[in-house]
């Protein structure tokens, strides 16, 4: 059965990439024939976010490089502890709703931004604007604009590649790290099994196949077992049509599969590794047991971070890749325990 599953994935990867090549070629010709001009930045109408289940947070905005960037900011502004939560692909701050409220109720300040291209933040209409460097600067600008100090930084998925990659810009503002289901590229990939790597390549190929036609609500329902349709629709809410999906379409393709690919991502990951190898402040490595792609990377972080060796790692049982959705309240309690140690 394992061999059949392996062959099936290889075949699907081939099909998805073949379709993706034809889609890309067709869209390139179509754009030359039908010259439709879009504004540089698109803004999702507020009506798309009406009555989202469990997400009644007041919006806050700052402008970064011409884009309006949204962030959730709950709890006292003068709280002793500040927690910043960075999302990944294809999610947004909605993913942290089960973590934000419990931690804010403990008197902590909890901030969850939406990266440019996601959530309530503006979306570039041109893929050329969507770069790793832009996201690194976004993290720095948020920390500087809000003058955040002694932060507990919570990262997952691309939030990890970006947030840890930005450590060289914000290291003096970070007091603790909480690392959830992520990696830094391509180093953590060495700890992944062949099947986990194959699962990622399959996901990457699927994204290449669909491009900006990516069905986000369907993908979230496949990734999270038993996810209600109303919650899947909430994850899709920021993207009323394909013009808004440059971020979800491009981010997976920026993950380097080898050192010569995506140089800026590799460079920031190399910087992150150097910082993490010297990191003696607390670092909680908290991965789920059912992540089909990144489960093995927990060992990578535990091995290289001195501060992680002084904090017991946590395995969130019964959770998949988006463990915040599956076990958000449990994760919030683990973070609360870390803050009170």
Domain ranges for the chain, please list them: 1-32, 44-340
Determine the topology of domain 44-340 in CATH. Rossmann fold (3.40.50)
Q: Structure pTM? A: 0.95
Q: Let me know if 321 is a catalytic residue.
A: yes
pLDDT digits (tens, 9 = 90+) for 134-177: 999 999 999 999 999 999 999 999 999 999 999 999 999 999 99
Cα 41 versus chain centre, distance: 21
% of the chain surpassing 70 pLDDT: 98
DSSP three-state, residue 111: strand
Q: Let me know if 122 is a catalytic residue.
A: no
Residues 114, 157, 217, 326: which is the catalytic one? 157
**What pLDDT score was predicted for residue 54?**
96
| The pLDDT of residue 187 is above 70 | no
Q: What is the mean pLDDT of residues 292-297?
A: 89
- CB contact set of 222 (below 8 Å; sequence gap of 6+): none
Q: Let me know if 87 is a catalytic residue.
A: no
The span from the CA of 154 to the CA of 139, in Å, is: 13
Q: What is the band of 302 on the pLDDT scale with cuts at 50, 70, 90?
A: very high
| The pLDDT of residue 283 is above 70 | yes
| The pLDDT of residue 185 is above 90 | no
| The pLDDT of residue 133 is above 90 | yes
Residues 73, 122, 291, 326: which is the catalytic one? 291
**What pLDDT score was predicted for residue 101?**
97
Residues forming beta bridges with residue 112, ordered by sequence position: 72
| The pLDDT of residue 1 is above 70 | no
Can the peptide bond before residue 186 be classed as cis, meaning omega within 30 degrees of 0? Answer: yes
Q: What is the mean pLDDT of residues 50-65?
A: 96
Residues 87, 132, 135, 321: which is the catalytic one? 321
Q: What is the band of 229 on the pLDDT scale with cuts at 50, 70, 90?
A: very high
Q: What is the mean pLDDT of residues 55-60?
A: 96
Half-sphere exposure of 121 (CA within 13 A, CB side): 31
């Amino acid at each position: 059965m394992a061999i059949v599953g392996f062959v099936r994935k290889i075949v699907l990867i081939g099909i998805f990439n073949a379709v993706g090549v034809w889609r890309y070629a067709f869209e390139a010709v179509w754009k030359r024939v039908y010259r439709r001009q879009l504004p540089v930045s698109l803004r999702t109408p507020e009506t798309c976010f009406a009555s989202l289940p469990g997400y009644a947070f007041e919006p806050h905005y700052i402008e970064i490089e011409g884009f309006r960037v949204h962030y959730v900011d709950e709890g006292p502004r003068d709280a002793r502890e500040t927690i910043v939560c960075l999302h990944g692909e294809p999610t947004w701050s909605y993913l942290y709703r089960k973590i934000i409220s419990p931690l804010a109720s403990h008197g902590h300040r909890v901030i969850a931004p939406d990266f440019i291209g996601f959530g309530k933040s503006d979306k570039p209409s041109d893929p050329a604007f969507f770069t790793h460097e832009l996201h690194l600067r976004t993290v720095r600008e948020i920390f500087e604009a809000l003058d955040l100090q002694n932060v507990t930084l919570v990262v997952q998925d691309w939030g990890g590649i970006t947030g840890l990659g930005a450590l060289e810009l914000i290291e003096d503002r970070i007091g603790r790290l909480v690392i959830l289901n992520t990696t830094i590229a391509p180093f953590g990939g060495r700890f992944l099994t062949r099947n986990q790597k194959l699962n990622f390549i399959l996901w990457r190929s699927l994204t290449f196949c669909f491009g900006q036609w990516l069905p986000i609500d369907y993908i979230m329902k496949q990734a999270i077992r038993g996810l209600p349709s109303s919650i899947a629709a909430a994850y899709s809410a920021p993207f009323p049509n394909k013009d808004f999906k440059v971020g979800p379409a491009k981010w997976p393709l920026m993950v380097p599969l080898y050192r010569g690919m995506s140089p800026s991502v590799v460079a920031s990951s190399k910087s992150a590794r150097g910082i993490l190898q010297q990191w003696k402040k607390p670092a909680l490595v908290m991965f789920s047991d059912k992540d089909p792609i990144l489960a093995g990377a927990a060992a990578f972080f535990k091995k290289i971070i001195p501060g992680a060796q002084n904090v017991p790692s946590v395995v969130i049982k019964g959770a998949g890749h988006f463990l915040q959705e599956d076990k958000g309240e449990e994760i919030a309690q683990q973070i609360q325990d870390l803050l009170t140690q």
